[in-house]
Amino acid sequence: MRNQPTMQPVLVVLLFLAQGLVGGQEQRDVKTATMTKVGAVLSAVYEEYRVQESQGGATDFESENPLIRITEGRVIIDAVASGDTAVPRADLEALGMQQAASFGRMVSGQLPVAAIADVDVLDSLQFARPAAAAPRGPRRPARPQL
């Protein structure tokens, strides 16, 4: 009789992975567990905010990510519209976005960190991301001109 490979080790690994995925979502808010339009970076910023808020310190929130600039509880984002930018711009302003500007299919502005999860459900957007920022720290000296 030949030794036939068993599926038992594979099943154990799959069950372990499934438990980790499902178990991790039990402790998180449903909104943050399924965020897809705002991506990993903004989702992480929102999660940081929620943790600080639950500890009573969200009033002076700063992200641990040095590339994310938070000013007065707002993060600058770039959002890509599904169609015309008038609708997503109005949707984002209704969520508290300030200094909204649009160009082409892009809407940019300062969004309250607390509203990141709400952006994820907007049908008028394809996706949103934090606006690019230079790392914090000392600036490099200017190159001498010859």
pLDDT value of position 16: 42
Contact (CB, 8 A) for 94 and 57: no
Note whether residue 6 is domain-resident.
no
CA distance 122 to 69: 23
Does 54 reside within a domain? yes
Q: Which pLDDT score is estimated for 99? A: 94
The pLDDT of residue 110: 93
* Residue 12, in any domain of the structure: no
* Residue 26, in any domain of the structure: no
CATH of residue 125's domain is: 3.30.70
Strand duo 74-81 + 70-71: pairing: antiparallel
Among the listed residues 122, 127, 123, 93, the one whose alpha carbon sits nearest the alpha carbon of residue 110 = 93
Report pTM: 0.65
Specify the pLDDT at position 54.
84
Number of domains forming the structure of the chain: 1
Count of other CB atoms within 10 angstroms of residue 79: 28
- For residue 125, what are the domain limits? 31-130
Residues 6 or more apart in contact with residue 105 via CB below 8 angstroms: 80, 81, 85
Write out residues in the chain with pLDDT < 70, as ranges.
Answer: 1-34, 57-59, 133-146
Tell the residue number behind the tokens 């438990």, with chain if given. Answer: 19
Domain presence at residue 51: yes
Rounded to whole angstroms, the Cα distance separating 33 from 142 reads: 45
